[in-house]
């Protein structure tokens, strides 16, 4: 359900800010940013800090790899907005054909076995959380994934379990590929919080 307060801003100051940013950027401010500006108690600083830490904090995974994980989790959660947004960011640091192959089927994509094993763990975590067990973690660890890498990947999947559901529940508008690309540059510069 699209909320008018999220679309236009819930206060005069936020309405003006949304208009100004959209004008300067040259495209409609994506709904994810509009939600961040909406009532700060709804999806404000805490969610921004959590996302920033998972996506940009210290990690053995590159920013592009974590963005690709977010896109894959979004795909499993049937969230076209997040798939498009996070694929657009991931391809700023990796071959777009590889990102697309992972989104089509990570099992056959030309990626490192550690990433493949991590995605298998995240798939279970996302699609069958009650079935997630120590054996899933052991399989990733046996493929060479470190405990810290697995924890970082799980943080990405956890935050995007929340974000994708918000995006779907609020019926986020799907930007064009060009708008996703331009927003990707902004997110890489500014981050999530």
pTM: 0.84
pLDDT above 80: residue 33: no
pLDDT above 70: residue 4: no
Q: pLDDT value at position 94?
A: 97
Q: Quick: pLDDT tens for 109-140.
A: 999 999 999 999 999 999 999 999 999 999 99
Mean pLDDT of the chain: 89
Q: pLDDT value at position 42?
A: 61
User: What tokens appear for 192 in the block?
Assistant: 């999530």
More confident residue, 100 or 166: 100
Cα angle value 43/49/53 (rounded, 5°): 135
**Average of pLDDT values for 141-165?**
97
Structural domains of the chain, with CATH: 45-190 (1.20.1290.10)
pLDDT above 70: residue 44: no
User: What tokens appear for 107 in the block?
Assistant: 């099992």
pLDDT band at 154 (very low <50, low <70, confident <90, very high): very high
Q: pLDDT value at position 31?
A: 67
**Average of pLDDT values for 74-88?**
96
Give alpha helix (H) positions in 57-176.
Answer: 63-76, 80-90, 96-105, 113-127, 134-142, 147-169
**Average of pLDDT values for 165-184?**
87
**Residue-wise burial string across 14-41, b where 16 or more C-beta atoms lie within 10 A, e elsewhere:** beeebeebeeebebbbbbbbbbbbbeee
**Average of pLDDT values for 67-85?**
97
Q: pLDDT value at position 152?
A: 98
CB of 50 closer than 8 Å to CB of 161: no
């Amino acid at each position: 359900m699209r909320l008018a307060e999220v679309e236009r801003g819930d206060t005069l100051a936020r309405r003006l800010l949304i208009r100004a940013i959209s004008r300067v950027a040259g495209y409609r401010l994506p709904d994810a940013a509009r939600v961040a500006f909406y009532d700060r108690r709804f999806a404000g600083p805490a969610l921004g800090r959590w996302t920033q830490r998972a996506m940009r904090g210290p990690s053995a995974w590159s920013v592009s790899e974590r963005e690709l994980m977010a896109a894959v989790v979004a795909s499993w959660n049937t969230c076209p907005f997040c798939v498009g947004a996070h694929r657009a960011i991931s391809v700023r640091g990796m071959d777009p054909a590889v990102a697309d192959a992972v989104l089509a089927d990570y099992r056959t994509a030309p990626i490192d076995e550690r990433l493949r094993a991590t995605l298998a763990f995240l798939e279970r975590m996302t699609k069958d959380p009650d079935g997630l067990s120590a054996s899933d973690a052991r399989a990733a660890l046996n493929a060479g994934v470190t405990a810290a890498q697995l924890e970082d990947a799980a943080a990405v999947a956890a935050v995007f379990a929340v974000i994708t559901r918000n995006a779907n529940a609020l019926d986020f508008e799907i930007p064009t590929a060009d708008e996703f690309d331009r927003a990707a540059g902004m997110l890489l510069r500014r981050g999530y919080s």
